[in-house]
Amino acid sequence: EARTPAPAARTPRPDDLDQPRSTAQRDRLLAMLDDPSPQRRETAARALLDWPEPATRHVLLRAYLDGRIELPVPMSGVPGKGERLVRLAGHLDAVELEPLVPALLSAWEHGDRSAGDALRRVAPDIVADALSGRLADRAWGLLDLLAGRPLLRTPALERTVQHLRAEGRDDLAGKLILVDGPLRDPGAAADDEAALSALREHRPGTVREPSRAELLKRAREGDPKEIRRALTALAEAPPDGEFTGLLAELIVHRETKVRLHAHRVSRRVLDRAAYLAQTTRLLDDPEPGVVRSAVRTLSHASHEPAIPGLVTLLAHAHRLVREAAAEGLVLIGAPAIPALRHAASRARPDRRQRYIAVLRKITG
C-alpha cells in the first residue's frame, strides 16, 4: 500500500523566532524591537509577551511607551499596580504617562494620592478623554482631576457642565475651564519661570541665543532632537504664517517623535480649528498608535471634517485602528451617517458589513 511521503524536516535557522527559549533568542527578539519595520517590531513583541522575566517586560513596556510597538503590554510582571505603578510613573514624563492613565485612575480611585499627582502631570485633555464614560454616568468625584485646568471644549465636556448645572452643582461646573484654544502643555508655567530666571541671570559675554532665523533653519535641517528643541523655542513667540507652515511640514516628518512634538506644539499655539486640522492629518500616520490617538481627539471634538478620514480607517490593516475608528464614528453620531452609507454602497460585498455595523450602532 502506498504511503504518503513524510514532509521534509525543516532545517532550523539561527534567525527563526520559534526556537526554544535561550539567551541568544531573547537577544534577537529584543534587538528586533528597534527594527525599522513596524511589523517586525510587533512580531518580536508578541513573541516576548510570554517570556516570564520582569526585565523582559520592562523592555517591552519601555518600547510601548516610546511608541515603537503598538501591542498593549500586560501590566503583570512590571510595576503595574499600586505603589509599583506610581513608582514607575515618577520616572516618566507627561507624554510617556499617557498609556498608563487608565491604570493610574484605578490606583487613584483606590486611595493612592501619588497616582493623582501623576495624573495631574498628564495633559488634562488626555485625562478628560479617559474619564468621559464615567462622567457620562455622573461620577462627579472624578472632576477633582480636571478642576481648575484649561480643557479643550468638547461636546462631552459641555454636556457634563449642563448636567452639573441641572443638578444644582454650580460649584463643580464653575471649576471646569473650557476653552477653544490654544492650550499649553503641563509644566508650561514652570518653563516660563525657568526662562525668566535664565534672563535674570544673563550676563554680557554669555553664549548668544539663536535668532529666529537660526531656529527655523534648525527645525528644518537639524536632527530630531535639534528639531524638537527649536520648535519648543519658537513656540514661545506668537505664531505667524511661517511657523504655522513649519508645523504643517513637520507633522509628516519621517521621525515619529518629531511628528508628535509638532502636534503637541500645534495644540499649544494654534486655534482650535487649526489644531484639529493638523490632527486630521495624523489619520494617515504610519504608526497605529498615533492614528488611534488622533481618532480619539477628533471624535471627542466631534470634528466633522475628519469624518471621511475616519470612515476610510474602517478598512485599515491594523485591527485596533479599525476598532478605534468605529468607536469614534459612533461617538460623532448622525453627522457620520451619509459618509458611512456612501462607503457601504461602494464597498465590496465581503467588506460592506464593517460600515453597516457602525451605522446600526449609530441609528440604534
Residue 78 has pLDDT above 50, yes or no: no
Over residues 340-360, mean pLDDT: 93
pLDDT bracket for residue 12 (50, 70, 90): very low
Backbone angles phi, psi at 6, to 5 degrees: -70, 140
Cell of 147: 478642576
Over residues 277-282, mean pLDDT: 94
Average pLDDT, the chain: 81
Q: Which of 346, 344, 351 is nearest to 315 (CA)?
A: 351
pLDDT bracket for residue 317 (50, 70, 90): confident
Measured N-to-C along each axis, helices 272-281 and 288-300 cross at an angle, to the nearest 10 degrees, of 150
Return d(Cα 250, Cα 220) in angstroms, integer: 8
Cell of 227: 528639531
Cell of 42: 510587533
Residue 347 has pLDDT above 80, yes or no: yes
pLDDT, tens digit, for every residue of 199-237? 555 554 455 678 888 989 999 998 888 998 889 888 888
Q: Which of 58, 125, 47 is nearest to 87 (CA)?
A: 58
The SS3 assignment for 44 reads helix
Output the CATH code of domain 290-364.
1.25.10
* Strand bridging mode 150-152 / 177-179: parallel
pLDDT, tens digit, for every residue of 34-69? 887 878 888 888 888 777 777 777 777 777 766 677
Return d(Cα 158, Cα 260) in angstroms, integer: 27
Distances (CA, A) of 163 to 156, 167, 175, 204, 360: 11, 6, 14, 58, 27
Q: Which of 252, 332, 234, 329 is nearest to 290 (CA)?
A: 252
Which range has highest mean pLDDT (92-106, 134-148, 264-278, 296-310)? 296-310
- Rounded to an integer, what is the distance from CA 13 to the centroid of its chain? 38
Residues with Cβ < 8 Å from 355, sequence gap 6 or more?
Answer: 311, 314, 340, 341, 343, 344, 347
CATH 1.25.10-classified regions of the chain: 290-364
Q: Which helix (H) or strand (E) holds 152?
A: strand 150-152
CB 299 within 8 A of CB 327: yes
Distances (CA, A) of 42 to 74, 139, 293: 14, 37, 18
pLDDT bracket for residue 362 (50, 70, 90): very high
Tell me what pLDDT residue 298 has. 93
Cell of 166: 441641572
pLDDT, greater one: 8 or 68: 68
Residue 77 has pLDDT above 50, yes or no: no
Calculated CA dihedral for residues 71, 278, 238, 272, nearest 10 degrees: -100
